[in-house]
């Protein structure tokens, strides 16, 4: 897929999931959480990685199932790796996601 489309999609996810337990549940039930976690391993730029980490944080805020999915899918490994990324926004969003887990 087009990188711009990926960035727009993950940005829309952040907005849809933030403080919205119903949308967080929908993501969990659809299996979309796994894809979101897998996206952290894609060879993408820092903007995408930062937004993906923010989306994971938003999805896990009030959703125990999403937190569990991140842990089972090795999401912590990707987030921890992102703490060493040269971009401070990526580091911050990865740290926020880890704090919520």
* 10-residue stretch averages of pLDDT, the chain, 101 residues long: 88 96 96 94 91 98 96 96 96 98 95
CA distance 9 to 51: 10
Q: What is the pTM of this model?
A: 0.94
Q: How many helices (H) and strands (E) does the chain have?
A: 7, 0
Residue that the structure tokens 């999915």 belong to: 69
């Amino acid at each position: 897929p087009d990188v711009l489309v990926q960035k727009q999609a993950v940005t829309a996810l952040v907005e849809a999931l933030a403080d919205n337990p119903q949308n967080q549940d929908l993501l969990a039930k659809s299996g979309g959480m796994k894809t979101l976690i897998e996206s952290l391993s894609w060879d993408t730029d820092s903007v995408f990685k930062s937004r993906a980490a923010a989306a994971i944080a938003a999805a896990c805020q009030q959703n125990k199932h999403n937190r569990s999915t991140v842990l089972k899918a090795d999401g912590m490994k990707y987030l921890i790796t992102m703490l060493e990324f040269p971009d401070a926004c990526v580091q911050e969003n990865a740290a926020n996601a880890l704090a919520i887990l």
